[in-house]
Amino acid sequence: MNVSVDATTCAGHGRCYTLAPDVFGMDDEGRGVADHVPVPPGQEARAEEAILNCPERAVIRNG
Ligand code: SF4
């Protein structure tokens, strides 16, 4: 599993890195950061939660 945050639609709600801190980073303005990040073993469910809970649908599953 591999995920990204679309920086053009992310509005900085912070749910992604709150739900999956081992997958998503945060920039200085509170936006989620991930660019084709491989989800570590055991973190898949948290990453799925982040995808489902992003209000802007900015978390993208690449594969
Ligand atoms: S939950 Fe969505 S809108 Fe919020 S920081 Fe993460 S990617 Fe951005």
pLDDT at 15 over 90: yes
| pTM (two decimals) | 0.94
pLDDT tens track for 17-34: 999 999 999 999 999 999
Residue 18 Cβ inside 6 Å of ligand 1? The answer reads: no
Four-CA torsion 28, 33, 56, 50, nearest 10 degrees: -120
More confident residue, 63 or 8: 8
Closest ligand 1 atom to 24 CA: 6
Contact 16, 59 (CB under 8 A): yes
Q: Where are the alpha helices (DSSP H) in the chain?
A: 15-19, 44-53
pLDDT at 19: 98
pLDDT at 63: 84
pLDDT at 26: 97
Residue 46 Cβ inside 6 Å of ligand 1? The answer reads: no
In whole numbers, what is the pLDDT of the chain averaged over residues? 97
Return the structure tokens found at 2: 């591999």
Strand pairing class (37-38; 32-33): unpaired
Residue located via tokens 């802007």: 56
Residue 19 Cβ inside 6 Å of ligand 1? The answer reads: no
